[in-house]
Amino acid sequence: MELYPYIKSLHLIFVVTWFAGLFYIPRLFIYHIEASQKPSPEKEILSDQLRLMTKRLWYIITWPSAVLCTVFAVWLLIIMPAWLQQPWMHVKLVFVVLLIGYHLKCHKIFRQLQKDEISYTPRFMRIWNEGATLILFAIVFLVVLKNAFNWIYGVIGIFVLAILLMLGIRLYKRIRDKNPNA
């Protein structure tokens, strides 16, 4: 138990850095997709730079953070096995599985873009970018509120947040269409 605060602190640090990578990587995907639509030589210069930036972010920050976050989470569950008996933890673990799925899908997109295979639109990637945000909100509220969490309001809140994010994306698109430098 003496190690608990250190393990928890390290887990939280790597949660933050993992999410930092997951928040930024889709932005780089968007820039890469948009660069592919530019004329030469701008297209090649931007694509080369974005491939390098994405590769560094993915392999130096995001993947190591995901692995270390998971290692410290498992360690916490080993020293606090009672958590596995609590319903909020079961729901949290479902969201963690969704987060891992999101991460793996980002990896697939990353590999495609490293080969300049464009399968998605910038708009799709802007929407995709909000996936990690929704998962983060769900996990933080579950962990902080635990049993006091009202499931109905929580589910409604996540849907309201998703709707607000979508409206924000649409508003940004309108502003950007009117002023391409925005």
Backbone angles phi, psi at 87, to 5 degrees: -60, -35
**Cα(161)–Cα(164) distance, rounded to whole angstroms?**
5
Within the chain, residue ranges assigned H as helices are 4-35, 42-56, 63-79, 87-114, 122-128, 131-145, 151-178
32 is an annotated ligand-binding site residue: no
Longest pairwise C-alpha distance within the chain: 60
11 is an annotated ligand-binding site residue: yes
Binding residues for heme: 11, 92
Binding residues: 11, 92
